[in-house]
Structure 1
């Protein structure tokens, strides 16, 4: 390697360090000038007025905050978003009062005295108002870490804009950089990327939630298509926000082609199950085989569909357990959907009665007993029926068939209620339910001795 090529990186690093030192000196001189400016009489008065207004806002905010909190607790039946908005306002009552007080003082002083005597208060008023707006606006960001990054980044940027030192701060951040060949990553680019991507992703989140709510409120769209539409809207909006944010920063998107190829190889080898579940979830949504609210049986799991996810399906059972079943299992294994085309379910109960009981009477009593249970349907072809299925060793065997239209209410409990109604009806009508009786004899027991009656002796 030539000596000139070896000295180029060192010269560039030394030049960047010199620029950073020079900018630091300029900022220090600016700060020193600001301190000297604050020590002037009218400027000191303005600082004192600002501190007094902050203390006054703190004292006034205490009773108002308590009264507002009690008023919020008394609001029963409010939607969740309105309660959250109320809590956000409750936490910022002091800031709202300070903004009102300082702007009132600034307007009065601008009318009553020279504008220069209220300049610092005007700057403080602008800063406090901007900080308050940013504090309210960043509540739309769902992720706490991203919310804090966007909030403090916006506060710093607004403060620099109001103080008029944006160019100096930008130059200082841009001087702190790392070079990778033709690629130069500066601290200013990183900050800009975080803020722009945070704003774009927040807008995408808000718009996707609004679109999902509009889709779910449309009764003409099936539940499975509602879920599919909401998922597609989220993918398109978040993907578009990400690429638009990268383009706004100045990153060349053509360079992502290599990255996408590497991701494709990784998906092909290491993420087979994940991709399989994602594709299976898309197939489930498209063919409408399973939708939220359906009652399904998968192996020993019986419950209703709570939600459809990108990777799994949430199934809630009668005992309150929530199973997260991978979408691939619902595609590759046999699933019983009790409410796929309709919600009607037929249940069969088997029982037997003694041979001495009239079968015509038994069938009539069984149908009346099933009809007396609330959830059993009693119209058209869905009426309960009872048939003889055979003549057993100890009983005449029957099957009782009945229909329900609410499988989400459970199957075991309705079977138990019908069995209980059969028992009560058989007891009331004298119908007996036989059971096998056996005589047990030990092999080594002596045979019973037969005693002849008196008078028969020979």
Structure 2
């Protein structure tokens, strides 16, 4: 057993036979109560909105660590302040337990911040919690050093290099922690960039992707160097990746390059309403390899970026996010055409989403149909990506009410059927 752990347990056993244990329990309880009250006050401040919005997310993470961190800090101060007059074994033990809580909550916070909530993340959080508590239990029980020695004794060779199981575990943990920290920092930069209104939306997406890529590469190189792996070994991997791109991954590479071209030439923006290969919808996300085309009913299409580069794309949204919504209607030939056109103009201008421009509403005569005159009302609106089905329904309903009030008839198909008697048909056939 570790000498420090042995001394700690001897102190705890001795303290329970004296008043020192009661004083230590009183100090621990007071410190936990003070930490809890301060944590409650901070949470109330965040919920009341008295904190700057820019730092609200960061304070949310601090609030999770506030209670164990303040408690740990106060316990350390109490330990060094009281150790000259009494044993502080229980205080040292409580400080180590709070330190384990800090580690668990820090890792869980980073995971929840970097990755979206999912079942595997919830299970991984449990694995982290149990792993940290088991290590703490082994350390407190004095079994951690023997376990580490057993892991170090398990050795094997990879080429000319000798490795042991402890080194592999340490290397894996180093890589994971470094990558998580890099992803966490890149995520904070991404949120700041995406919240900036002074930068074009496409350039924001480009900068976000570059920040994440650079962060991952730097974290990978730093973790490999920390573990002791020669970074020049990556040249072999780079050559293999180049061969793979040449043979089987050219489509993936093409989609990634096409994604950056689309973002840089500003041919598409998030929120544009487009038609690609017959798929109509709003551009919901611009990813490195594909775009997400979202229909108004919630259906999503995943379209590779290469398709957008090589195929014809119909963009129904202007740069100012304006669009004309067509509403087709037919009137009978007996109706007053001038009055119908006037009523359509009035209906289009009175809708709440109609732009207040002179050319926002147009009415044209499309054709003279079989049953009536075909008219089309075009209503100019802002932000068509918010949906146009409700607008068309409301406009149609108002047209119906106005036409009924002004005796404008909407025709329906009619057919004249002539019945010829049998004798008349025979006479017609004989002639």
What TM-score, normalized by structure 2, do the two folds share? 0.75
- Cα distance in 1 for residues equivalent to 2:419 and 2:298: 51
Cα pair distance change 1:272/1:67, threshold 3 Å: same
Larger radius of gyration: 1
Structure-2 residue corresponding to 1:313: 291
3-state SS, counterpart of residue 399 of structure 1: strand
1:299-341 deviation per Cα after TM superposition (whole angstroms, max 9, x unaligned) = 5543322222222222332223333333233333332222242
Does the aligned pair in 2 maintain the 1:354–1:432 contact within 8 Å? yes
Structure-2 residue corresponding to 1:11: none
**Residue 222 of structure 1 pairs with residue 230 of structure 2:** no
Structure-2 residue corresponding to 1:385: 362
Cα pair distance change 1:273/1:121, threshold 3 Å: same
Cα pair distance change 1:229/1:317, threshold 3 Å: same
1:232 deviates by 0.4
Structure-2 residue corresponding to 1:24: none
Structure-1 residue corresponding to 2:13: 44
Matching residue within 230, 241, 244 for 1:252: 230
Larger deviation: 288-297 or 414-423? 414-423
Structure-1 residue corresponding to 2:53: none
1:203 deviates by 2.5
Matching residue within 231, 241, 246 for 1:268: 246
Runs of 5+ consecutive residues of structure 1 not aligned to the other structure: 1-29, 449-458
Cα pair distance change 1:337/1:104, threshold 3 Å: same
Structure-1 residue corresponding to 2:331: 353
Runs of 5+ consecutive residues of structure 2 not aligned to the other structure: 50-55, 116-120, 426-431
**Residue 370 of structure 1 pairs with residue 348 of structure 2:** yes
- Cα distance in 1 for residues equivalent to 2:290 and 2:28: 51
- Cα distance in 2 for residues equivalent to 1:36 and 1:372: 85
1:289 deviates by 1.6
3-state SS, counterpart of residue 303 of structure 2: strand
Cα pair distance change 1:234/1:320, threshold 3 Å: same
Matching residue within 110, 123, 129 for 1:141: 110
**Residue 237 of structure 1 pairs with residue 215 of structure 2:** yes
Matching residue within 150, 156, 173 for 1:195: 173
1:425 deviates by 1.8
1:394 deviates by 4.0
3-state SS, counterpart of residue 418 of structure 2: coil
Structure-2 residue corresponding to 1:131: 100
1:213-238 deviation per Cα after TM superposition (whole angstroms, max 9, x unaligned) = 22123212111111110110000011
- Cα distance in 1 for residues equivalent to 2:276 and 2:48: 38
3-state SS, counterpart of residue 84 of structure 2: helix
1:103 deviates by 5.7
Larger deviation: 55-64 or 289-298? 55-64
1:141 deviates by 3.4
Does the aligned pair in 1 maintain the 2:151–2:166 contact within 8 Å? yes
Structure-1 residue corresponding to 2:310: 332
What TM-score, normalized by structure 1, do the two folds share? 0.71
Q: How big is the alpha-carbon RMSD for the aligned residues of Structure 1 and Structure 2? A: 4.5
- Cα distance in 2 for residues equivalent to 1:447 and 1:63: 109
Does the aligned pair in 2 maintain the 1:141–1:147 contact within 8 Å? no
Does the aligned pair in 1 maintain the 2:64–2:105 contact within 8 Å? no
Structure-2 residue corresponding to 1:10: none
1:208 deviates by 0.6
1:138 deviates by 2.9
- Cα distance in 2 for residues equivalent to 1:77 and 1:336: 47
3-state SS, counterpart of residue 210 of structure 2: helix
- Cα distance in 2 for residues equivalent to 1:195 and 1:151: 15
1:242 deviates by 0.3
Q: How many residues of Structure 1 are paired with residues of Structure 2 in the alignment?
A: 405
Structure-2 residue corresponding to 1:410: 387
3-state SS, counterpart of residue 371 of structure 1: helix
Does the aligned pair in 1 maintain the 2:71–2:98 contact within 8 Å? no
Matching residue within 88, 95, 104 for 2:78: 104
1:338-360 deviation per Cα after TM superposition (whole angstroms, max 9, x unaligned) = 22423221234443333343433
